[in-house]
Structure 1
Amino acid sequence: MEKPLVSILIPTFNSEKFISGTILSVQNQSYTNWEIILVDDCSTDATLVTVAELALNDNRIQYSKLDKNSGTGVARNSALAAAKGSYIAFLDADDLWKPNKLALQINFMQTNKLPFTFSFYECINEDGKPLNKRVEAPINLSYRQLFFCNYIGNLTAIYNVNFFGKIPISAIRKRQDWMLWLTVLKKIKIAHPVPESLAYYRIRDNSISTSKFDLIKYNFAVYRKFYGFSFPIAVACMKLFLFTQLLIKPRYIKKIKPSI
Protein backbone atom coordinates (compact mmCIF):
# COMPACT_ATOMS: atom_id res chain seq x y z
CA MET A 1 0.00 0.00 0.00
CA GLU A 2 1.41 3.36 -1.05
CA LYS A 3 2.09 5.85 1.71
CA PRO A 4 0.13 9.13 1.55
CA LEU A 5 1.69 12.09 -0.21
CA VAL A 6 3.00 14.88 2.03
CA SER A 7 3.12 18.41 0.57
CA ILE A 8 5.89 20.50 2.12
CA LEU A 9 5.36 24.26 1.83
CA ILE A 10 8.58 26.31 1.71
CA PRO A 11 8.48 30.11 1.25
CA THR A 12 11.83 31.67 0.33
CA PHE A 13 13.31 35.15 0.29
CA ASN A 14 17.05 35.74 -0.18
CA SER A 15 17.77 32.27 1.19
CA GLU A 16 20.67 31.17 -1.03
CA LYS A 17 22.92 30.61 2.00
CA PHE A 18 20.59 28.02 3.55
CA ILE A 19 18.15 26.64 0.97
CA SER A 20 20.28 23.78 -0.34
CA GLY A 21 20.74 22.43 3.21
CA THR A 22 17.04 22.77 3.91
CA ILE A 23 16.05 20.89 0.75
CA LEU A 24 18.73 18.25 1.39
CA SER A 25 17.22 17.60 4.83
CA VAL A 26 13.94 16.76 3.04
CA GLN A 27 15.67 14.61 0.43
CA ASN A 28 17.30 12.67 3.27
CA GLN A 29 13.93 11.71 4.77
CA SER A 30 13.32 7.99 5.29
CA TYR A 31 9.74 8.77 4.22
CA THR A 32 10.01 9.34 0.48
CA ASN A 33 6.48 10.11 -0.77
CA TRP A 34 6.62 13.89 -0.54
CA GLU A 35 6.56 16.95 -2.75
CA ILE A 36 8.21 20.29 -2.06
CA ILE A 37 6.13 23.28 -3.14
CA LEU A 38 8.54 26.20 -2.95
CA VAL A 39 7.37 29.76 -3.61
CA ASP A 40 9.93 32.53 -3.79
CA ASP A 41 8.97 36.01 -2.57
CA CYS A 42 11.01 37.92 -5.19
CA SER A 43 14.50 37.14 -3.93
CA THR A 44 17.29 39.36 -5.20
CA ASP A 45 20.01 36.74 -4.66
CA ALA A 46 20.63 33.30 -6.21
CA THR A 47 17.97 31.43 -4.23
CA LEU A 48 15.98 30.31 -7.27
CA VAL A 49 19.11 29.41 -9.23
CA THR A 50 20.05 27.00 -6.44
CA VAL A 51 16.53 25.59 -6.26
CA ALA A 52 16.36 25.13 -10.04
CA GLU A 53 19.60 23.15 -10.01
CA LEU A 54 18.31 20.85 -7.28
CA ALA A 55 14.96 20.41 -9.03
CA LEU A 56 16.69 19.22 -12.22
CA ASN A 57 17.61 16.00 -10.42
CA ASP A 58 14.48 15.57 -8.29
CA ASN A 59 11.01 15.92 -9.83
CA ARG A 60 9.48 16.05 -6.34
CA ILE A 61 10.67 19.67 -6.10
CA GLN A 62 8.35 22.30 -7.59
CA TYR A 63 9.07 26.01 -7.48
CA SER A 64 7.59 29.32 -8.59
CA LYS A 65 8.00 33.04 -7.92
CA LEU A 66 5.51 35.68 -6.77
CA ASP A 67 4.92 38.68 -9.02
CA LYS A 68 5.89 41.08 -6.23
CA ASN A 69 7.29 40.84 -2.71
CA SER A 70 4.25 40.06 -0.55
CA GLY A 71 5.43 38.26 2.60
CA THR A 72 5.60 34.66 3.74
CA GLY A 73 1.84 34.38 4.28
CA VAL A 74 1.10 35.06 0.61
CA ALA A 75 3.95 32.76 -0.46
CA ARG A 76 2.64 29.94 1.73
CA ASN A 77 -0.91 30.40 0.40
CA SER A 78 0.38 30.21 -3.15
CA ALA A 79 2.21 26.98 -2.28
CA LEU A 80 -0.88 25.65 -0.52
CA ALA A 81 -3.00 26.18 -3.65
CA ALA A 82 -0.61 23.98 -5.65
CA ALA A 83 -0.30 21.24 -3.03
CA LYS A 84 -1.64 17.80 -3.94
CA GLY A 85 -0.82 15.90 -0.73
CA SER A 86 -3.08 14.31 1.85
CA TYR A 87 -0.90 16.00 4.46
CA ILE A 88 0.43 19.55 4.61
CA ALA A 89 3.80 20.13 6.30
CA PHE A 90 5.66 23.38 6.85
CA LEU A 91 9.35 24.18 6.59
CA ASP A 92 11.10 27.52 6.42
CA ALA A 93 14.00 28.09 4.05
CA ASP A 94 16.69 28.14 6.74
CA ASP A 95 15.53 25.29 8.98
CA LEU A 96 16.38 21.57 8.89
CA TRP A 97 14.59 18.27 9.48
CA LYS A 98 16.03 15.14 11.03
CA PRO A 99 15.90 12.13 8.65
CA ASN A 100 13.07 10.31 10.47
CA LYS A 101 10.87 13.39 10.92
CA LEU A 102 8.12 12.64 8.40
CA ALA A 103 8.08 8.88 9.01
CA LEU A 104 7.64 9.27 12.77
CA GLN A 105 4.97 11.95 12.49
CA ILE A 106 2.85 10.24 9.84
CA ASN A 107 3.00 7.00 11.82
CA PHE A 108 2.12 8.86 15.03
CA MET A 109 -0.90 10.49 13.37
CA GLN A 110 -2.15 7.27 11.81
CA THR A 111 -1.62 5.15 14.91
CA ASN A 112 -3.38 7.63 17.20
CA LYS A 113 -5.95 8.78 14.60
CA LEU A 114 -4.85 12.41 14.87
CA PRO A 115 -5.53 15.05 12.18
CA PHE A 116 -2.70 17.30 13.40
CA THR A 117 0.60 16.99 15.17
CA PHE A 118 3.92 18.74 15.73
CA SER A 119 7.12 17.90 17.62
CA PHE A 120 9.90 19.22 19.79
CA TYR A 121 12.89 20.83 18.06
CA GLU A 122 16.43 21.99 18.71
CA CYS A 123 18.00 25.40 18.08
CA ILE A 124 21.05 26.18 15.98
CA ASN A 125 22.72 29.52 15.27
CA GLU A 126 23.06 31.23 11.90
CA ASP A 127 26.13 29.13 11.08
CA GLY A 128 24.37 25.87 11.94
CA LYS A 129 26.15 25.32 15.24
CA PRO A 130 24.03 23.83 18.06
CA LEU A 131 22.86 26.16 20.81
CA ASN A 132 22.35 23.14 23.09
CA LYS A 133 18.70 23.98 23.56
CA ARG A 134 15.61 21.86 22.91
CA VAL A 135 12.17 23.50 22.75
CA GLU A 136 9.42 21.24 24.05
CA ALA A 137 5.66 21.74 24.48
CA PRO A 138 2.75 20.51 26.59
CA ILE A 139 1.90 16.89 25.70
CA ASN A 140 -1.80 17.81 25.78
CA LEU A 141 -1.74 21.30 24.29
CA SER A 142 -5.07 23.07 24.70
CA TYR A 143 -6.53 25.95 22.74
CA ARG A 144 -6.35 28.12 25.87
CA GLN A 145 -2.64 27.39 26.33
CA LEU A 146 -1.95 28.18 22.67
CA PHE A 147 -4.02 31.39 22.90
CA PHE A 148 -1.49 32.86 25.33
CA CYS A 149 1.70 31.38 23.86
CA ASN A 150 2.73 29.77 20.58
CA TYR A 151 4.19 26.43 21.63
CA ILE A 152 4.17 25.00 18.07
CA GLY A 153 7.28 25.31 15.94
CA ASN A 154 6.27 26.02 12.35
CA LEU A 155 8.97 23.67 11.04
CA THR A 156 7.43 20.73 12.91
CA ALA A 157 3.69 20.96 12.15
CA ILE A 158 1.65 18.64 9.90
CA TYR A 159 -2.10 18.50 9.32
CA ASN A 160 -4.44 16.14 7.47
CA VAL A 161 -6.11 17.78 4.47
CA ASN A 162 -8.90 15.18 4.44
CA PHE A 163 -9.92 16.35 7.94
CA PHE A 164 -9.42 20.12 7.73
CA GLY A 165 -9.39 20.87 4.02
CA LYS A 166 -6.74 23.36 2.97
CA ILE A 167 -6.60 25.95 5.73
CA PRO A 168 -6.04 29.50 4.37
CA ILE A 169 -3.01 31.30 5.75
CA SER A 170 -3.21 34.94 6.83
CA ALA A 171 -1.51 37.51 4.59
CA ILE A 172 -0.30 39.39 7.68
CA ARG A 173 3.48 39.36 7.34
CA LYS A 174 4.26 38.02 10.82
CA ARG A 175 2.77 35.34 13.07
CA GLN A 176 0.68 33.63 10.35
CA ASP A 177 1.80 30.30 11.78
CA TRP A 178 0.39 31.03 15.24
CA MET A 179 -2.92 32.10 13.69
CA LEU A 180 -3.01 28.87 11.70
CA TRP A 181 -2.47 26.72 14.80
CA LEU A 182 -5.15 28.69 16.66
CA THR A 183 -7.54 27.87 13.80
CA VAL A 184 -6.60 24.19 14.07
CA LEU A 185 -6.91 24.05 17.87
CA LYS A 186 -10.23 25.85 17.83
CA LYS A 187 -11.57 22.85 15.92
CA ILE A 188 -9.81 19.92 17.62
CA LYS A 189 -9.43 21.49 21.12
CA ILE A 190 -6.31 19.48 22.08
CA ALA A 191 -3.11 18.82 20.09
CA HIS A 192 -0.51 16.16 20.84
CA PRO A 193 3.14 16.48 19.77
CA VAL A 194 5.52 13.66 18.95
CA PRO A 195 7.47 13.98 22.22
CA GLU A 196 10.95 14.13 20.74
CA SER A 197 13.08 16.56 18.76
CA LEU A 198 12.64 16.08 15.01
CA ALA A 199 14.01 19.33 13.57
CA TYR A 200 16.51 22.15 13.87
CA TYR A 201 15.34 25.76 14.11
CA ARG A 202 17.89 28.32 12.95
CA ILE A 203 18.03 31.50 15.02
CA ARG A 204 19.35 34.23 12.75
CA ASP A 205 20.80 37.53 13.91
CA ASN A 206 17.94 39.54 12.37
CA SER A 207 15.10 37.16 13.25
CA ILE A 208 12.00 38.11 15.24
CA SER A 209 13.14 35.63 17.89
CA THR A 210 16.00 37.98 18.77
CA SER A 211 13.82 41.10 19.19
CA LYS A 212 11.60 41.38 22.25
CA PHE A 213 9.99 44.56 20.91
CA ASP A 214 9.00 42.88 17.65
CA LEU A 215 7.67 39.89 19.58
CA ILE A 216 5.32 42.16 21.53
CA LYS A 217 4.29 44.17 18.46
CA TYR A 218 3.44 41.22 16.21
CA ASN A 219 1.69 39.21 18.88
CA PHE A 220 -0.38 42.22 19.88
CA ALA A 221 -1.42 42.47 16.22
CA VAL A 222 -2.80 38.92 16.39
CA TYR A 223 -5.19 39.89 19.18
CA ARG A 224 -6.17 43.13 17.44
CA LYS A 225 -6.39 42.05 13.77
CA PHE A 226 -6.96 38.29 13.82
CA TYR A 227 -9.41 38.28 16.73
CA GLY A 228 -10.65 41.84 16.29
CA PHE A 229 -10.38 42.61 20.00
CA SER A 230 -10.69 46.16 21.27
CA PHE A 231 -7.49 47.87 22.39
CA PRO A 232 -8.13 47.33 26.15
CA ILE A 233 -8.94 43.62 25.67
CA ALA A 234 -5.90 43.13 23.45
CA VAL A 235 -3.72 44.78 26.11
CA ALA A 236 -5.14 42.42 28.75
CA CYS A 237 -4.42 39.44 26.50
CA MET A 238 -0.87 40.67 25.96
CA LYS A 239 -0.29 40.89 29.70
CA LEU A 240 -1.21 37.22 30.03
CA PHE A 241 0.81 36.41 26.92
CA LEU A 242 3.91 38.04 28.43
CA PHE A 243 3.35 36.28 31.75
CA THR A 244 3.20 32.95 29.93
CA GLN A 245 6.13 33.77 27.65
CA LEU A 246 8.39 34.89 30.50
CA LEU A 247 7.41 32.54 33.33
CA ILE A 248 5.79 29.42 31.89
CA LYS A 249 7.28 28.75 28.45
CA PRO A 250 10.88 28.70 29.77
CA ARG A 251 9.97 25.50 31.62
CA TYR A 252 9.67 23.83 28.21
CA ILE A 253 13.13 24.92 27.05
CA LYS A 254 15.73 22.31 28.01
CA LYS A 255 19.51 22.45 27.97
CA ILE A 256 20.89 19.46 26.09
CA LYS A 257 24.09 18.02 24.69
CA PRO A 258 24.60 18.81 21.00
CA SER A 259 23.29 16.22 18.52
CA ILE A 260 24.15 17.80 15.17
Structure 2
Amino acid sequence: MELVSIITPSFNSEKFIAETIQSVQNQTYQNWEMIIVDDCSTDATVKIVEKMALLDNRIQLFESEKNSGTGISRNRALQKAKGRYISFLDADDLWKPEKLEIQINFLKNNNLSFTFSFYDCIDEQGMELNKRVEAPRNLSYMQLFFCNYVGNLTGIYDVNHFGKIAISSIRKRQDWMLWLTILKKVKSAKPIPESLAFYRIRENSISASKVNLLKHNFTVYRTFHGFNLLLSLLCIIGFLFTQLLIKPRYIKTLKHRFKLF
Protein backbone atom coordinates (compact mmCIF):
# COMPACT_ATOMS: atom_id res chain seq x y z
CA MET A 1 0.00 0.00 0.00
CA GLU A 2 1.65 3.20 -1.23
CA LEU A 3 2.01 6.21 1.08
CA VAL A 4 -0.17 9.25 0.28
CA SER A 5 1.03 12.69 1.42
CA ILE A 6 -1.80 15.12 2.17
CA ILE A 7 -0.88 18.80 1.88
CA THR A 8 -2.91 21.08 4.17
CA PRO A 9 -2.19 24.79 4.71
CA SER A 10 -4.02 26.35 7.65
CA PHE A 11 -4.78 29.84 8.86
CA ASN A 12 -7.31 30.68 11.60
CA SER A 13 -9.20 27.46 10.95
CA GLU A 14 -10.23 26.56 14.49
CA LYS A 15 -13.90 26.15 13.49
CA PHE A 16 -13.16 23.48 10.87
CA ILE A 17 -9.70 21.91 11.24
CA ALA A 18 -10.76 19.10 13.60
CA GLU A 19 -13.51 17.95 11.21
CA THR A 20 -11.07 18.15 8.31
CA ILE A 21 -8.54 15.97 10.11
CA GLN A 22 -11.25 13.53 11.19
CA SER A 23 -12.36 13.14 7.57
CA VAL A 24 -8.80 12.01 6.78
CA GLN A 25 -8.64 9.69 9.78
CA ASN A 26 -11.91 8.13 8.61
CA GLN A 27 -10.40 7.09 5.28
CA THR A 28 -10.71 3.43 4.34
CA TYR A 29 -7.21 3.83 2.86
CA GLN A 30 -5.05 4.25 5.95
CA ASN A 31 -1.48 4.62 4.65
CA TRP A 32 -1.24 8.40 4.63
CA GLU A 33 0.61 11.29 6.22
CA MET A 34 -1.11 14.63 6.74
CA ILE A 35 1.30 17.56 6.63
CA ILE A 36 -0.26 20.72 8.06
CA VAL A 37 1.62 24.00 7.72
CA ASP A 38 0.07 26.75 9.81
CA ASP A 39 0.52 30.28 8.46
CA CYS A 40 0.68 32.16 11.80
CA SER A 41 -2.86 31.57 13.03
CA THR A 42 -4.03 33.84 15.83
CA ASP A 43 -6.80 31.52 17.03
CA ALA A 44 -6.74 27.99 18.49
CA THR A 45 -5.88 26.19 15.24
CA VAL A 46 -2.38 25.16 16.33
CA LYS A 47 -3.56 23.88 19.73
CA ILE A 48 -6.27 21.76 18.10
CA VAL A 49 -3.83 20.24 15.60
CA GLU A 50 -1.19 19.63 18.29
CA LYS A 51 -3.71 17.76 20.41
CA MET A 52 -4.82 15.55 17.51
CA ALA A 53 -1.22 14.96 16.38
CA LEU A 54 -0.32 13.62 19.83
CA LEU A 55 -2.88 10.87 19.31
CA ASP A 56 -2.01 10.13 15.67
CA ASN A 57 1.61 10.29 14.51
CA ARG A 58 0.53 10.40 10.86
CA ILE A 59 -0.39 14.05 11.47
CA GLN A 60 2.53 16.45 11.24
CA LEU A 61 2.36 20.14 12.15
CA PHE A 62 4.80 22.84 11.06
CA GLU A 63 4.45 26.52 11.95
CA SER A 64 5.54 29.38 9.71
CA GLU A 65 7.56 32.23 11.19
CA LYS A 66 5.59 34.84 9.24
CA ASN A 67 2.34 34.91 7.29
CA SER A 68 3.27 34.15 3.69
CA GLY A 69 0.15 32.76 2.00
CA THR A 70 -1.07 29.30 1.03
CA GLY A 71 1.43 28.85 -1.81
CA ILE A 72 4.44 29.11 0.49
CA SER A 73 2.72 26.87 3.06
CA ARG A 74 1.95 24.21 0.45
CA ASN A 75 5.52 24.27 -0.82
CA ARG A 76 6.87 23.81 2.68
CA ALA A 77 4.56 20.85 3.19
CA LEU A 78 5.59 19.48 -0.18
CA GLN A 79 9.23 19.55 0.85
CA LYS A 80 8.37 17.41 3.89
CA ALA A 81 6.23 14.94 1.93
CA LYS A 82 7.48 11.36 1.66
CA GLY A 83 4.58 9.76 -0.20
CA ARG A 84 4.43 8.42 -3.73
CA TYR A 85 1.15 10.29 -4.17
CA ILE A 86 0.55 13.97 -3.42
CA SER A 87 -2.97 15.09 -2.57
CA PHE A 88 -4.43 18.35 -1.30
CA LEU A 89 -7.01 19.22 1.34
CA ASP A 90 -7.59 22.71 2.67
CA ALA A 91 -8.26 23.19 6.38
CA ASP A 92 -12.00 23.73 6.00
CA ASP A 93 -12.87 21.07 3.42
CA LEU A 94 -13.79 17.41 3.94
CA TRP A 95 -13.21 14.05 2.29
CA LYS A 96 -15.71 11.22 2.04
CA PRO A 97 -14.38 8.01 3.68
CA GLU A 98 -13.65 6.12 0.44
CA LYS A 99 -11.94 9.05 -1.30
CA LEU A 100 -8.32 7.90 -1.19
CA GLU A 101 -9.06 4.22 -1.74
CA ILE A 102 -11.16 4.91 -4.83
CA GLN A 103 -8.61 7.32 -6.28
CA ILE A 104 -5.55 5.13 -5.73
CA ASN A 105 -7.33 2.14 -7.27
CA PHE A 106 -8.47 4.29 -10.19
CA LEU A 107 -4.91 5.49 -10.85
CA LYS A 108 -3.45 2.00 -10.71
CA ASN A 109 -6.19 0.20 -12.63
CA ASN A 110 -6.06 2.74 -15.46
CA ASN A 111 -2.29 3.29 -15.44
CA LEU A 112 -2.71 7.01 -14.75
CA SER A 113 -0.43 9.51 -13.05
CA PHE A 114 -3.07 12.13 -12.18
CA THR A 115 -6.77 12.20 -11.44
CA PHE A 116 -9.45 14.16 -9.61
CA SER A 117 -13.15 13.75 -8.87
CA PHE A 118 -16.47 15.51 -8.60
CA TYR A 119 -17.35 17.18 -5.28
CA ASP A 120 -20.35 18.52 -3.37
CA CYS A 121 -20.71 21.95 -1.80
CA ILE A 122 -21.55 22.72 1.83
CA ASP A 123 -22.01 25.97 3.68
CA GLU A 124 -20.08 27.27 6.66
CA GLN A 125 -22.32 25.34 9.06
CA GLY A 126 -21.80 22.04 7.23
CA MET A 127 -25.18 21.99 5.49
CA GLU A 128 -25.29 20.63 1.97
CA LEU A 129 -26.11 23.26 -0.67
CA ASN A 130 -27.70 20.84 -3.15
CA LYS A 131 -24.86 21.51 -5.58
CA ARG A 132 -22.43 19.05 -7.14
CA VAL A 133 -19.52 20.26 -9.26
CA GLU A 134 -18.63 17.89 -12.08
CA ALA A 135 -16.10 18.08 -14.92
CA PRO A 136 -15.55 16.92 -18.52
CA ARG A 137 -15.00 13.15 -18.63
CA ASN A 138 -11.80 13.64 -20.62
CA LEU A 139 -10.41 17.00 -19.54
CA SER A 140 -8.03 18.56 -22.07
CA TYR A 141 -5.41 21.23 -21.51
CA MET A 142 -7.41 23.79 -23.53
CA GLN A 143 -10.56 23.15 -21.52
CA LEU A 144 -8.59 23.67 -18.31
CA PHE A 145 -6.92 26.76 -19.81
CA PHE A 146 -10.24 28.65 -19.76
CA CYS A 147 -11.76 27.12 -16.63
CA ASN A 148 -10.43 25.31 -13.58
CA TYR A 149 -12.54 22.17 -13.51
CA VAL A 150 -10.29 20.47 -10.93
CA GLY A 151 -11.32 20.95 -7.33
CA ASN A 152 -8.17 21.38 -5.25
CA LEU A 153 -9.54 19.05 -2.57
CA THR A 154 -9.85 16.23 -5.13
CA GLY A 155 -6.59 16.38 -7.12
CA ILE A 156 -3.91 13.71 -6.65
CA TYR A 157 -0.74 13.00 -8.64
CA ASP A 158 2.03 10.42 -8.80
CA VAL A 159 5.44 11.69 -7.69
CA ASN A 160 7.13 8.80 -9.52
CA HIS A 161 5.86 10.26 -12.79
CA PHE A 162 6.06 14.03 -12.23
CA GLY A 163 8.43 14.48 -9.32
CA LYS A 164 7.34 17.03 -6.73
CA ILE A 165 5.77 19.98 -8.56
CA ALA A 166 6.45 23.31 -6.86
CA ILE A 167 3.45 25.51 -6.10
CA SER A 168 3.39 29.09 -7.34
CA SER A 169 3.93 31.75 -4.68
CA ILE A 170 1.11 33.85 -6.20
CA ARG A 171 -1.46 34.06 -3.40
CA LYS A 172 -4.47 32.94 -5.45
CA ARG A 173 -5.19 30.32 -8.15
CA GLN A 174 -2.10 28.24 -7.31
CA ASP A 175 -4.04 25.01 -7.73
CA TRP A 176 -5.14 25.98 -11.25
CA MET A 177 -1.52 26.62 -12.24
CA LEU A 178 -0.51 23.26 -10.80
CA TRP A 179 -3.15 21.40 -12.81
CA LEU A 180 -2.16 23.32 -15.95
CA THR A 181 1.44 22.23 -15.42
CA ILE A 182 0.30 18.62 -15.13
CA LEU A 183 -2.09 18.74 -18.10
CA LYS A 184 0.60 20.26 -20.29
CA LYS A 185 2.56 17.04 -19.73
CA VAL A 186 -0.18 14.41 -19.88
CA LYS A 187 -2.42 16.26 -22.41
CA SER A 188 -5.69 15.10 -20.83
CA ALA A 189 -7.02 13.82 -17.51
CA LYS A 190 -9.88 11.56 -16.51
CA PRO A 191 -11.90 12.38 -13.40
CA ILE A 192 -13.55 9.79 -11.21
CA PRO A 193 -17.21 10.41 -12.13
CA GLU A 194 -18.53 10.57 -8.59
CA SER A 195 -18.37 12.98 -5.68
CA LEU A 196 -15.62 12.13 -3.19
CA ALA A 197 -15.37 15.34 -1.17
CA PHE A 198 -17.17 18.33 0.32
CA TYR A 199 -16.06 21.86 -0.56
CA ARG A 200 -17.00 24.43 2.08
CA ILE A 201 -18.18 27.79 0.78
CA ARG A 202 -17.30 30.40 3.38
CA GLU A 203 -19.73 33.25 4.02
CA ASN A 204 -17.06 35.96 3.76
CA SER A 205 -15.96 34.78 0.31
CA ILE A 206 -19.25 34.73 -1.59
CA SER A 207 -19.85 38.42 -2.33
CA ALA A 208 -16.34 39.40 -3.45
CA SER A 209 -15.41 36.26 -5.35
CA LYS A 210 -16.61 37.19 -8.85
CA VAL A 211 -14.61 40.38 -9.38
CA ASN A 212 -11.56 39.04 -7.57
CA LEU A 213 -11.66 35.87 -9.64
CA LEU A 214 -11.24 37.92 -12.81
CA LYS A 215 -8.28 39.77 -11.29
CA HIS A 216 -6.60 36.56 -10.19
CA ASN A 217 -7.19 34.87 -13.55
CA PHE A 218 -5.75 37.88 -15.35
CA THR A 219 -2.64 37.56 -13.16
CA VAL A 220 -2.33 33.90 -14.16
CA TYR A 221 -2.49 34.74 -17.87
CA ARG A 222 0.01 37.57 -17.47
CA THR A 223 2.45 36.00 -14.99
CA PHE A 224 2.19 32.22 -15.30
CA HIS A 225 1.64 32.08 -19.06
CA GLY A 226 3.65 35.24 -19.77
CA PHE A 227 1.07 36.70 -22.15
CA ASN A 228 1.01 40.39 -23.10
CA LEU A 229 -1.82 42.69 -22.06
CA LEU A 230 -3.97 42.22 -25.17
CA LEU A 231 -3.68 38.45 -25.24
CA SER A 232 -4.43 38.26 -21.53
CA LEU A 233 -7.58 40.34 -22.03
CA LEU A 234 -8.67 38.02 -24.86
CA CYS A 235 -8.12 35.04 -22.54
CA ILE A 236 -10.33 36.69 -19.92
CA ILE A 237 -13.08 37.00 -22.53
CA GLY A 238 -12.68 33.28 -23.24
CA PHE A 239 -12.85 32.59 -19.50
CA LEU A 240 -16.08 34.61 -19.16
CA PHE A 241 -17.60 32.77 -22.13
CA THR A 242 -16.77 29.44 -20.49
CA GLN A 243 -18.13 30.52 -17.10
CA LEU A 244 -21.41 31.77 -18.53
CA LEU A 245 -22.18 29.19 -21.21
CA ILE A 246 -20.14 26.03 -20.65
CA LYS A 247 -19.34 25.46 -16.97
CA PRO A 248 -23.02 25.64 -15.85
CA ARG A 249 -23.51 22.32 -17.65
CA TYR A 250 -21.27 20.74 -15.02
CA ILE A 251 -23.08 22.18 -11.98
CA LYS A 252 -25.72 19.71 -10.88
CA THR A 253 -28.57 20.35 -8.46
CA LEU A 254 -29.13 17.65 -5.85
CA LYS A 255 -32.49 16.85 -4.33
CA HIS A 256 -31.54 16.44 -0.69
CA ARG A 257 -30.21 18.77 1.99
CA PHE A 258 -28.96 17.76 5.41
CA LYS A 259 -26.41 18.76 8.02
CA LEU A 260 -23.23 16.70 7.90
CA PHE A 261 -22.13 17.34 11.47
TM tier, smaller: over 0.9
Structure 1 residue 22 corresponds to structure 2 residue 8: no
CA distance in 2 between counterparts of 1:211 and 1:183 reads: 24
In structure 2, the partner of 1:12 is 10
User: CA 1:160–1:33 in 2, change beyond 3 Å: closer, same or farther?
Assistant: same
Change (3 A) 1:31 1:70: same
Letter in 2 for 1:16: E
SS at 2:204's partner residue? coil
In structure 2, C-alpha distance between the alignment counterparts of 1:209 and 1:31, rounded to whole Å: 37
Match of 1:33 among 20, 31, 34: 31
Q: Secondary structure of 1:81's partner?
A: helix
Q: Which residue of 1 aligns with 2:235?
A: 237
Q: Aligned ranges for residues 86-235 of structure 1 at < 5 Å?
A: 86-207=84-205, 211-235=209-233
Alignment of 1:67-78 (within 5 A): 67-78=65-76
Letter in 2 for 1:45: D
User: Structure 1 vs Structure 2: percent identity of aligned residues?
Assistant: 68
Aligned to 1:244, the other structure's residue is in SS state: helix
1:84 alignment partner, one of 66, 82, 85:
82
Question: How many residue pairs are counted as aligned between the two chains?
Answer: 258
Letter of the structure 2 residue corresponding to residue 154 of structure 1: N
Rounded to whole Å, the distance in 2 between the matches of 1:37 and 1:247 is 38
Per-residue displacement from partner, 1:215-236 (whole Å, max 9, x unpaired)? 1110111001111110100000
C-alpha distance in structure 2 between counterparts of 1:53 and 1:211, whole Å = 34
Residue 67 of structure 1: how far off its partner (Å)? 1.1
Q: CA deviation at 1:257?
A: 2.7
Calculate the aligned-residue CA RMSD, in Å.
1.0
Deviation at 1:207, TM superposition (A): 2.4
Unaligned runs of 5+ in 2: none
Q: Using the TM superposition, give the Cα deviation of residue 205 of structure 1 relative to its aligned residue in structure 2, in angstroms.
A: 1.4
Question: Which letter does structure 2 place at the counterpart of 1:67?
Answer: E
Structure 1, gaps ≥5 residues long:
none
Letter in 2 for 1:7: S
Give the Cα separation in 2 of the matches to 1:184 and 1:206: 31
1:168 positional shift = 0.4
Q: For 1:33-58, what per-residue CA distance to the aligned partner results, in whole angstroms no more than 9, with x for missing partners?
A: 00000000111111000000000100
8 Å contact kept, 1:73–1:176: yes
Distance 1:108 1:128 in 2: 28
Separation of aligned partners in 2, 1:249 and 1:39: 32
Counterpart in the other structure of 1:43: 41
Relative to the length of structure 1, the TM-score reads: 0.98
Deviations 1:168-197 (A, max 9, x none): 000000000000000000000000001000
Partner of 2:203, secondary structure, is coil
